[in-house]
Structure 1
Amino acid sequence: MSNEKVTGLARFYYATCYSFKGMRAAFVHEPAFRYEIYASLLLLPASFWVASSAMGLAMLMSSCLLVLMAELVNSAIEAVVDRAGLEVNELAGRAKDLGSAAVFVTLLIAGLVWSAALWEKLMAG
């Protein structure tokens, strides 16, 4: 086997394949990720109706994608911790709790962005 790293377009292709493999794994194995995907399938199209500007649209869409990103990172943390061992460990529990907290914060951000956009839409008439 060669020690040479793949570069250029081939690297981009393989990296994209690994990314889709990870998203598929999250969808198959993580119920929370599935729920967030389903919510995004509703919210992303709705953002075109709710947004009052291009920046608002970008904020609404980004807030949905940020939740998915945090859930992916949280799932990765959980997988690594579970792989390390099943015994109860304070640091392992803290790592999982911190990942969960990151998801919670992104959900708060999304809620804030969507609430502000809906408020703006309602006040504009």
Structure 2
Amino acid sequence: MSDERYAAKLKGKKGIRRIINAAGYSKNGLCSAYRHESAFRQLVWLNGVLVVLVFVLDFGPATRMILMFASFLSLIVELFNTAIEAAVDHTSTSEHELAKRAKDAGSAAQAVALVLLALLWFMALWREYGLNLF
């Protein structure tokens, strides 16, 4: 089957079939990222621990929502970073300035998301428990 016919076959789905297919693609993406990307696995485990702590520690509902958002955001950014790296590597594995910039930008986005996660946790702990690390 040609690439165009395959794409048309996938894009031609409507209604509930499209939603079911999209859920399957999402599951495949999550499983693939977990299986092939150690950074994603590490973030899943880190955020798993943080999500448990969100409910174990005595945070208010707004603080819990913000910390949960930050955890999921770091996972989302890592999935985008993984997608960028896979697309760039599929195009070419040779050294190229644009490929480097794309990969570096994805990495920088993840670093910013992790700084946000750390800052929000620090602020939440400081606010609720008066932890002063300085």
Please give the TM-score of this superposition, normalised by the length of structure 1.
0.92
Is the deviation greater in 115-124 or in 25-34?
A: 115-124
1:121 is matched with 128
Q: 1:13, CA displacement in angstroms?
A: 1.2
Q: In the alignment, which of 45, 50, 57 is matched to residue 43 of structure 1? A: 50
Pairs within 5 Å for 1:1-125 = 5-50=12-57, 52-123=59-130
Which range moves more in the overlay, 31-40 or 44-53? 44-53
Match for 1:49: what amino acid? V
1:51 CA displacement? 5.4
Structure 2 letter corresponding to 1:108: V
Please give the per-residue CA displacement for 1:17-75, whole angstroms capped at 9, x wherever unaligned: 10110011100110000000011111101111335221111111111110100000000
Aligned length: 124
**CA deviation after TM superposition for structure 1 residue 90, in Å:** 0.2
Which moves more between the two structures, 67-76 or 4-13? 4-13
- State the 1:83 CA deviation: 0.5
- Structure 1 segments unaligned to the other structure (5+ residues): none
Unaligned runs of 5+ in 2: none
Q: Secondary structure at the match of 1:87?
A: coil
Q: Which structure has the greater CA radius of gyration?
A: 2
Question: Residues of 1 paired with 2:44 and 2:91: CA distance?
Answer: 28
Question: Partner letter of residue 91 of structure 1?
Answer: L
Greater relative contact order structure (CA < 8 Å, 6+ sep)? 1
SS in 2 for 1:88: coil
Aligned-CA RMSD value: 1.8
- Give the share of equivalent positions with the same residue, in percent: 36
How far residue 120 of structure 1 moved from its aligned partner, in angstroms, is 1.2
Q: CA deviation at 1:108?
A: 0.6
